[in-house]
């Protein structure tokens, strides 16, 4: 009988090990265990399509596979915010996403001198600000603000 080539046997063993590892990586990718492998661009396209006159976004955060979503913005009227949320919910990428918290409030004025405080509130903000958070973001922030 022929003698086994030790170098060839080692190369075959290494190739078999590499094949098993690649199979494991493929299985992880197919199960989606790496989170959002498709990226976040579709979320931003959905947000861009929902243009509401008088409402603008100031911050968007998306993490994981789109499970944790946070949106901050401003609107000329508070009534514009639910309209925006409803329209956003009709986007394919947002279907099945749930939001746990919506805060809408008037921005607080910055510290002013006595003379500025005595003047009428002509400089008061003419908009509301809002913060929309999914349950996952709410938990990460310690239950809200």
Domain ranges of the chain: 1-34, 41-140
Q: Please report the pLDDT score of residue 52 as a whole number.
A: 93
- Residues 107/125, Cβ–Cβ less than 8 Å: yes
Q: In whole angstroms, how far apart are CA 115 and each of 108, 109, 122, 126?
A: 18, 14, 13, 21
DSSP 72: E
Q: Please report the pLDDT score of residue 145 as a whole number.
A: 41
Closest CA to 47 of 21, 14, 70: 70
- Residues 106/56, Cβ–Cβ less than 8 Å: no
Q: What is 41-140's CATH number?
A: 3.30.1360
pLDDT along the chain (145 residues), means of 10: 85 94 86 69 92 95 84 96 93 88 86 50 78 73 49
């Amino acid at each position: 009988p022929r003698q086994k080539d030790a170098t060839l046997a080692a190369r075959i063993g290494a190739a078999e090990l590499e094949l098993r590892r690649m199979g494991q990586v493929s299985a992880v990718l197919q199960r989606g265990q790496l989170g959002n492998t498709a990226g976040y661009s579709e979320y931003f396209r959905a947000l861009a399509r929902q243009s509401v006159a008088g409402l603008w976004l100031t911050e968007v955060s998306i993490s994981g596979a789109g499970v944790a979503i946070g949106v901050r913005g401003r609107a000329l009227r508070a009534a514009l915010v639910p309209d925006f949320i409803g329209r956003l919910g009709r986007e394919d990428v947002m279907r099945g996403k749930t939001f746990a918290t919506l805060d809408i409030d008037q921005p607080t004025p910055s510290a002013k001198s006595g003379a500025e405080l005595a003047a009428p509130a002509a400089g008061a903000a003419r908009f509301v600000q809002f913060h929309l958070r999914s349950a996952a973001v709410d938990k990460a922030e310690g239950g809200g603000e």
